[in-house]
Structure 1
Amino acid sequence: MSETNIKIDQYIKMKNYPYKELLENFTEAIYVISLQGQFIDYNHGFTSLVGPGEAYLNTNFLDIVHPEDIQIARSGFIETLDGKVLKEERLRIFAHDGQVKTIITSKVPLIENGELLGILGIAKDITVEVGLQSEIRKQYYRFRSLDKNSSSVNCILSEQGEVTYQSPSVEKVLGYKPGDLSEPFLTFVHPDDVKMVRDRFSYLLAHPTESQAVDVRILHKDENWRILHVLSNNLMDDPDIRGIVINFHDVTEMRQAQQEIQYMAYHDHLTGLPNRRFFEERLQEELTAAKKNKSQLAVMLLDIDRFKFINDTLGHVIGDKVLKGITGMLTGIMSETDLVARMAGDEFLILSPSLPFKEYAEQLAATILKELETPIIVEHYELFVTGSIGIAIYPNSSEDLSSLIKNSDLAMYEAKKRKANSYNVFSPEMERTSFKNFELQNDLHKALLNDEFELYYQPKVLSNKRQIVGAEALIRWNHSTRGLVSPGEFIPLAEESGLIVPIGEWVLENVCKQIKAWEESGYPRLEVSLNFSALQMLQKGLVDTVKAILEKYQVEGKSLEIEITESLILNDDGDLLKKLEDLKDLGIRIAIDDFGTGYSSMSYLTKYKFNTIKLDRSFIKDIHTSTDSQAITKFIIQLSNQLKMKVVAEGVELEEQFSLLLEMNCDEIQGYLISKPLPVHQFEQLGRFSSFI
């Protein structure tokens, strides 16, 4: 090991010593380069080599490199950033006075706690030694003992490329005996590499002072192609050599491993598609070309609708096979210039560069959605999937990479809101809406702390007496600057962000507080219902939380009714039934809300044993004009009565509707005919719950 290499190892081992003291204790030129390639520190040895120290601080290290050696220096810098220790890299540099000096420099990555901080270099001035290089080469190449078991091979080629000498180790590396390589070197080179090797050889002959390093595929004696890393020097003028000296060793396995790592870094392991990193690099290249050529390109984001349901129901193994099936479909319909990549989960990115015509992206999206209508056969399952596609067009939608991807995402969500298996093209209005929602979601985080929420109560009355017997608690948001924000606007944002859980707990606590206040004021007892979201019901410890709040305000469970939706039943995680039974044990009644609008199944009514069914307003709005609505409503009421479940009709606005519901023996009604939701003080003015409406 050379003295320079020993000092590099010493530096690494002495990393706990003071940094500046370590630099100044070395006589060689020591320098530190930042990750951006700028000198950030050096010692007196460095300034002795190149000139006054202050002149080089925070300058690019390539500025002092001879133009013909810049590529070597740049490659060495990149390799060191990748973790490689470079030893004895030969470069020509300019000193401060303009003098060209030749140095041997070694570089190691500076790593602290696993983080790459920069590059440490140690340089030695060999300008004088360069003049003696012919003698050194003669000593090195002619008289160095070539060990037969060496993994490297030394050869000398004539000006015509014929092998005039090869070390005995050629048999170990390539299987040939030394005498077998009497043919021209190009005879053993892979046909696809011949031109490159010939060009490099010609360049070496024309530039005798420059070395060459290249990977070449060479035919092994066993007729397999091996990758050799070849270093070559022109020593034609050396009277003892008079040839091209090459040194090579087999790097086949190393290069294959590097290629595999490179592939893994840029491709999705499941589908084999390019990943987001690959997509973004390709998109940046195409954007540059589009700006230059003044052409259009499209970025499309495909999201598979309700894919989580497949994973949760059939398992991830089936889900993975579905993704592979979708991948095959996508790659089968893409043109040669289109690129499809897997972004993450069930999302795919598609790039269509140089759009041949304006509607191309929309036609491609329509084709994809049409193909998705064909069922995917996985094992013994026939699965139907749909997708939502967002399209962003350069330059109309945006002119930079991140905005194009973001805007395709916004367009995809708009498509998902409209209907299943549809696409949408981005428009600026979507971005404005998204930003508004972003601001609103940020404000939502502060709303609880700032006490901006309020509960309104909508009365429920007995149909046969029109007497208030209960109420539904509905949350309202009094925004500090926007005023009253509609629940339809902020509840979806709360569910998306997970804030619905603390908000739901706030509602439960304030309902219990109000029930207790009414009780202490002498109001008749009434049942207050409140909605529980899916996220609330999925929370661990939900029943304990509810029990603790009831105990805190000394409220009986029978004063509460919890409403859940049919979609929650559909996605039952197996724990829902147990939670509902535990809540019933606290005296709380359970209602199924909006019954008949989603995935209604009469089996739910017997399995979950609901106390109440709330008929959706969609049945009620035309019950007085539609015989179909009358028949369905009457059937549900009769079935519920037989199952001993109370029926509440929502959205009652007309006396005609009320009369029909009364005839059908509907237990309770709720709607604007009775009253709209009211703040608590107005609700109390309805007559202390005993008045007739």
Structure 2
Amino acid sequence: MGLRIWIEVLMSEIEQQLFRGSPQAIMVTDLDNCIIQTNPAFEKITGYTFAEVAGENLSKLGAGHLNEGFYETVWLTLSNEGSWQGEIWNKHKDGSVYPCWYSIVTLQDQSGNVSGYITQFFDCSALKSSGQSLAQAAQYDELTHLPNWEMFEGLLSARLEKCKANDEQLAVMLVDLDRFKWINDNLGRAVGDSLLQEVARRLGSVVRGEDALARLSSDEFVMMLPCVDGVEAAIKVAQRVVDQLTHGIFVDHREIFISGSVGISVFPQHSGRGKDLVKKADVAMYAAKQGGRNTFRVYSELMERSKGPQILREEDLTKALVSGDIQMGFMPVYSIYSHQVVAVHARPSWTHPELGQIPFQDFSALLQNPESMSQYEFWLDSELSGLDVIWEKFPGLRFVSFRLESQQLQGKENIQRWLSQLNRYQRSGQMMIDVDLKTAMEREGELFDLLTSDALLSVSGFVCHSPSLEHLKEIQPDMIKLDSDLISTMRTDEGRQKIVDSVLNMADKLEIEVLADGVSSAGARGQLMSQGCMLMQGRYFGMPLTLQQLLDHLAVEH
């Protein structure tokens, strides 16, 4: 019995009334998804009469927002479970697009064989505009409108089965934004959200129609690339991703620079399971971060073996303060004019038994509770109190600088204690406090109190954007420090170079000295010098020294 004849037999008088009177659009399609029956509500919702769509594929109704992988998941679910529900965007006859909530069930003939599909849908624009999201919450990321992990996992699983059947390769890429937390914390969540939306758009411009792109977490995206011609083809896509993210992003008239670290895994070389491919892409992504960020890495087993434990704990930090694993290093600051050491930066570092040397910026986040902060500040005070010997032997040094975090400037008691300590440190010489831009803006009053001790102020933290003239005029720092992350990447990252140029230009207008940290090559030194930066520190000039090594070095030089 033909499908059309069977439908006519199936529909009793009551069923016919329900079919004609339903406020939802109903259509019946054959196994090729061609439309063979619609109800009156179908025309009201879509604008098409039955005569206009009879025999047409249901793709005629789609807005084209979804890729092939999405529909593969739908048909796989229908095959396994007999039904599917979800949100699909339709295009009206007049060209407008609108979201619809679809319910699809398989249609079986008298022998129990699947012979077609019955689909009901309704326009859910009103629900979405009132804030009630249907599929968005279940399958899509609300901010970027990309598929979420749940949906991506289904797409990946379905596509892997097809790749196995057709002997095709497939690549998974994990993209993690570098320093996004800094942007969110310092510039605000609204700026971070706008940036994520633009990143999603740029990543979307890289993928093909058969690819899939999803947002996994705050600053992490994942891509599925079916039918790739091996690792080499995946690498070309990864390079395009990295290139897309290096261009500045304008948010609220402010140009922000960000980069991405990309990890790649490939089926079948690395795994035949979707979750394993994602995990291995994650391992490769972390290797890319360790390799300097703003780059990509392809997974290898060596990455797993060398990864090791990498979790820093607060209790480990407190033990390290007692055991002596945290030590103060002294980084000489050189004047390009005199070719001599003119100042010193005091910088703690942690010699970890498993992770090796850990710089202060990587463990300062552990100083959260009062006990660990108290222990650290006791240690810091004991280290800085021994600086008298430097001033006694080398009174010509301009200053010794050290870093203060925002949490160290909370409360009147802390300010009074630091004020007392600064006065004590400065009996013999000049001290400089180094804070990041956010701290300088948020703790302006506290810093003003501290600077009554005649200590100098240095401001840093321009890794992802340059400061405004107004901010610098308001803060009135004695010095601007260009961070090592910025200096180490400026010659290969156009965005970072723009930040350096902007900061140097503003500093010149305001007649503020600039110190470049992290100078590690003659090329970087020459470039900075040509732009008027005459104070530098970094590996090019030497590694951090112990106090005795510093004294010996100064004795030879002076």
Q: TM-score, normalised by structure 1?
A: 0.45
Task: Find the partner of 1:678 among 546, 553, 556.
Answer: 546
Tell me, yes or no, if the aligned pair for 2:19 and 2:26 is still in contact at 8 Å: no
One-letter identity of the residue aligned with 2:321: L
SS at 1:192's partner residue?
A: strand
Indicate if the aligned counterparts of 2:418 and 2:450 stay in contact, CA closer than 8 A. no
> Structure 1 residue 347: deviation in Å?
2.9
Paired residue type of 2:216: M
**How far apart in 2 are the matches of 1:320 and 1:424?**
27
1:575 aligned partner: 442
Q: Distance in 1 between matches of 2:423 and 2:368?
A: 27
Q: Which residue of 1 aligns with 2:39?
A: 219
**1:278 to 1:301, Cα distance in 2 relative to 1, 3 A:** same
Distance 1:325-1:510 versus aligned 2 partners, 3 A rule: closer
1:352 corresponds, among 225, 228, 246, to: 225
Measure, in 2, the Cα distance between the counterparts of 1:195 and 1:459: 74
- Measured after TM superposition, the shift of residue 298 of structure 1 is 1.4
Residue number in structure 2 paired with 1:585: 452
Q: Which residue of 2 aligns with 1:47?
A: none
For residue 578 of structure 1, what is the amino acid of its counterpart? G
* Aligned-partner Cα distance in 1 for 2:251–2:543: 53
Percent same amino acid among aligned pairs? 23
| Residue 531 (structure 1) aligned with residue 402 (structure 2) | yes
Name the aligned partner's letter for residue 541 of structure 1.
Answer: Q
Within the candidate set 283, 289, 302, 2:156 is matched to: 283
Going from structure 1 to structure 2, the CA distance change for 1:195 and 1:364 (only over 3 Å counts) comes to closer
Q: Aligned-pair distance for 1:355?
A: 2.5
CA contact (8 A) 1:519 1:525 kept: no
Match of 2:431 among 561, 566, 569: 561
Q: Distance in 2 between matches of 1:388 and 1:458?
A: 30
SS in 1 for 2:308: helix
Residue 73 of structure 2 is matched in structure 1 by none
- 1:273/1:592 Cα in 2 relative to 1: closer, same or farther (>3 Å)? closer
Displacement of 1:296: 3.3
Structure 1 position 349, deviation (Å): 0.9
* 1:192 aligned residue: 29
Structure-1 residue corresponding to 2:209:
336
Describe the shift of the 1:285–1:517 C-alpha distance in structure 2 as closer, same or farther (beyond 3 A): same
What's the CA shift for 1:275? 0.5
The match for 1:273 is 146
The aligned residue for residue 71 of structure 1 is none
1:502 Cα offset (Å) = 8.1
TM alignment of 1:596-615, pairs within 5 A: 608-610=475-477
State the alpha-carbon separation in 1 of the partners of residues 241 and 10 from structure 2: 58
Question: 2 CA distance for matches of 1:415 and 1:360?
Answer: 18
Whether the aligned pair in 2 keeps the contact of 1:509 and 1:549 (CA below 8 Å) is no
Q: For 1:34-113, list aligned pairs within 5 A.
A: none
* Mapped partners of 1:339, 1:649: distance in 2: 41
DSSP 3-state at the match of 2:441: coil
Structure 2: any 5+ residue segments left out of the alignment? 1-5, 46-101, 111-118, 336-340, 485-503, 520-533
Q: Distance in 2 between matches of 1:378 and 1:616?
A: 23
- 1:393 aligned partner, one-letter code: V
- The counterpart of 1:509, out of the listed 378, 384, 390, is 378
Offset, 1:267: 0.9
How big is the shift at 1:277? 1.8
The answer to whether the 8 A contact 1:556-1:587 is kept is no
Aligned residue-pair number:
437
| Residues 1:545 and 2:414 aligned together | yes
* 8 Å CA contact 2:173, 2:262 repeated in 1: yes
Q: Contact between 2:440 and 2:447, CA under 8 Å: does it hold in 1?
A: no
Query: Alignment partner for residue 172 of structure 2, among 299, 302, 327?
Result: 299
Counterpart contact for 1:513–1:553, Cα < 8 Å: no
| Deviation (angstroms), 1:427 | 3.5
Query: Which residue identity is paired with 2:403?
Result: F
Q: How far has the Cα of 1:283 moved from its partner?
A: 2.7
Asked whether the 8 Å contact 1:473–1:511 carries over to 2, the reply is no
Displacement of 1:545 in angstroms is 2.3
Report deviation, 1:434. 3.5
State the alpha-carbon separation in 2 of the partners of residues 414 and 230 from structure 1.
47
d(CA) in 2 for partners of 1:371, 1:456: 38
Asked if 2 retains the 8 angstrom alpha-carbon contact of 1:300 and 1:350, the reply is yes
Is the partner of 1:409 in helix, strand or coil? Answer: helix
- Measured in 1, the distance between the counterparts of 2:223 and 2:177 equals 14
1:404 aligns with 2:404: no
> With CA pairs under 8 Å and 6+ residues apart, which has the higher RCO, 1 or 2?
2
Shift of 1:444: 4.5
CA distance in 1, matches of 2:14, 2:439: 75
Shift of the 648–398 alpha-carbon distance from structure 1 to 2, 3 Å rule, reads closer
- Taking the aligned partners of 2:253 and 2:414, their CA distance within structure 1 comes to 43
Counterparts of 2:241 and 2:136, CA distance in 1: 27
Cα distance change of structure 1 residues 675 and 311 upon mapping to structure 2, 3 Å threshold: closer
Cα deviation digits, residues 154-198 of structure 1 (max 9, x gap): xxxx9982767659xx8689549xxxxxxxxxxx983317999xx
Residue deviations 1:339-368 (CA, integer Å, cap 9, x gap)? 111223343210113433442211222334
CA change 1:575–1:305 in 2 (3 A) is same
Greater displacement, 330-339 / 537-546? 537-546
268 and 456 in structure 1: CA distance in 2 versus 1, 3 angstrom threshold: closer
Q: Is the 8 A contact 2:482 2:514 kept in 1?
A: no
Contact 2:422–2:453 (Cα < 8 Å) also in 1: no
Match of 1:161 in 2: 9
CA contact (8 A) 2:483 2:516 kept: no
Secondary structure (helix, strand or coil) at the match of 1:271 reads: coil
- Matched residue of 1:265: which SS? helix
2:98 corresponds to which residue? none
For 2:277 and 2:283, locate their aligned partners in 1 and report how far apart those are by CA, in whole Å. 10
SS at match of 1:270: coil
1:391 aligns with 2:264: yes
What TM-score do the two structures reach when normalised by structure 2? 0.54
Kept in 2, the 8 Å contact 1:338–1:352? The answer is: yes
Q: 1:410 to 1:557 in 2, by over 3 A?
A: farther
Cα 1:335/1:436, change in 2 over 3 Å:
same
Q: 1:491 aligns with which of 346, 353, 360?
A: 360
Counterparts of 2:107 and 2:517 in 1: how far apart (Å)? 87
- On the 8 A contact 2:177/2:220 being kept in 1, the answer is yes
Q: CA deviation at 1:273?
A: 1.4
